[in-house]
Amino acid sequence: MPINVRNSHEKINLEELLVQNLSLSPYSSINTGGKADLAAYPTDFEELRALLAYANSQGLPITVLGGMTNSLISDQGIEGLTILTTHLARRHVQGEMFCVRTGLSLDRTIDFALEAGLSGLELLGGIPGSVGGAIYGNAGANGMAIGDLLYYVDYMTFDGKLHRKQTHNDEFSYRCSPFTGLKDIIIYEAGFRLNPTLHTSEARKIKDEVKHKRKEKGYYENPSLGSIFANPPGNYAGKLLESCSLRGKSVGGAMVSNRHCNFIINSNGKATSHDVHALLSLMQKEVFQKTGVQLRPEIQLIGRW
Ligand SMILES: Cc1cc2nc3c(=O)[nH]c(=O)nc-3n(C[C@H](O)[C@H](O)[C@H](O)COP(=O)(O)OP(=O)(O)OC[C@H]3O[C@@H](n4cnc5c(N)ncnc54)[C@H](O)[C@@H]3O)c2cc1C
């Protein structure tokens, strides 16, 4: 596809920013999926705006991805322009507010906040992926979720306009934020209201401990997307899957983890996204037939499904 660079997009050289046929599987945490027809890693507001203007002028659909730790990317790839946020990673402190661009990893955000003497996010230590992805799905662990400490979110609509949303706790629920399901915005920056802390050693200890527990539980041993299904009300997806004898079940290279029934792993490095999806459907069907519970996938299907 020829790249049509027009002078109207400020002084930004889109040809330098755009990559054609970028293979995404090395970047996805489960190492599956096809190519992005066109991809870009904007580093600032102006580049992001120029990319959106370019995609709009060409009639290209736009997809936004952060760390790709919760996204199952189709083997057939992603149509149009894929915006990868991981180079949008600046942060600054404003009083008790820690302000961070969307592409910074959540884990590093917690470290940077602690370095600035601000605590509160420690229990989320070790959750992979970006701040933007975490806000999109209200990522959580250990009894808290990212929405709990969020004060504002700046997001860009695909017409290039920036909006500020003051957030409220009651707009967030289990793995659900006001942005979940929206396909026409990019979360650009977030502000967290944190606790000024003179001695952050205790908070650091908590973060190290929760991260260490994740390691001990084998969360990072194999390529995966973390939990495949959300816990149904009053129950645990893992428990239900276990009770249906799904531990170790496989389709192609995709396998239900022996350590966590709610994780699908790329067991031999050769799984396809199709394998993962087929196994997910099988798990869902088995649980429904045996228990009557309809499990809801926690992961996002991205691209040409
Ligand atoms: C080993 C492992 C453990 C995990 N443990 C947990 C856990 O304990 N708790 C938990 O909640 N999750 C967990 N996860 C899932 C995942 O880490 C989180 O959901 C994470 O927050 C996703 O962030 P991401 O940047 O990778 O999102 P991506 O996978 O890149 O994107 C996820 C969704 O968000 C959208 N999106 C991403 N960035 C933006 C943006 N800037 N603007 C608009 N939309 C955007 C994408 O379009 C997509 O729909 C785990 C995953 C793994 C692999």
Q: Could you read off the pLDDT of 138-169 as tens digits, one per residue? A: 999 999 999 999 999 999 999 999 999 999 99
Top CATH class, 14-86: alpha beta
Measured in angstroms, how far is the CA atom of residue 72 from the centroid of ligand 1? 11
pLDDT of residue 95: 87
How does strand 162-166 pair with strand 263-266? Answer: unpaired
Residue 10: what pLDDT? 52
CA distance 116 to 28: 31
Q: Give the list of residues 6+ apart from residue 202 with CB closer than 8 angstroms, or none.
A: none
pTM, to two decimals: 0.95
d(CA 125, CA 140): 10
Residues tagged active-site: 175, 227, 298
pLDDT at 96: 86
Residues of the chain with pLDDT under 50: 1-9
Pocket test for ligand 1, best of 68, 101, 107, 127 (most atoms within 8 A of CB): 127
How many helices, marked H, and strands, marked E, lie in the chain? Answer: 7, 19
Res 1: pLDDT: 43
Ligand 1 atom at minimal distance to the Cα of residue 71: 29
pLDDT at position 235: 96
Ligand 1 atom index nearest CA of 130? 25
Could you give the C-alpha distances from 304 to 36, 75, 228, 249, 271, in angstroms and in order?
10, 8, 20, 26, 18
CATH code of the region 222-302: 3.90.78.10
SS3 6: coil
Whether the CA torsion 57, 59, 60, 65 is positive or negative: it is positive
Mean confidence (pLDDT) of the chain: 95
From the options 3.30.465.10, 3.30.1360.120, 1.25.40.10, 3.40.50.300, give the CATH code of 91-215: 3.30.465.10
Output phi, psi for 244, to 5 deg.
Answer: -95, 15
Q: Do strands 162-166 and 250-251 pair parallel, antiparallel, or not at all (unpaired)?
A: unpaired
For residue 88, count other CB atoms closer than 10 A to its CB: 27
Among 136, 177, 231, name the best residue to mutate to test ligand 1's pocket (greatest count of ligand atoms within 8 A of Cβ).
136
pLDDT at 173: 96
Q: Is the dihedral of CA 117, 122, 126, 129 positive or negative?
A: negative
Q: Quick one: pLDDT at residue 285? A: 98
Q: In 3-state terms, what secondary structure has residue 214?
A: helix
Q: Of ligand 1's atoms, which has the minimum distance to the CA of residue 137?
A: 19
Type of residue numbered 132: G
Q: Domain residues of the chain, as ranges? A: 14-86, 91-215, 222-302
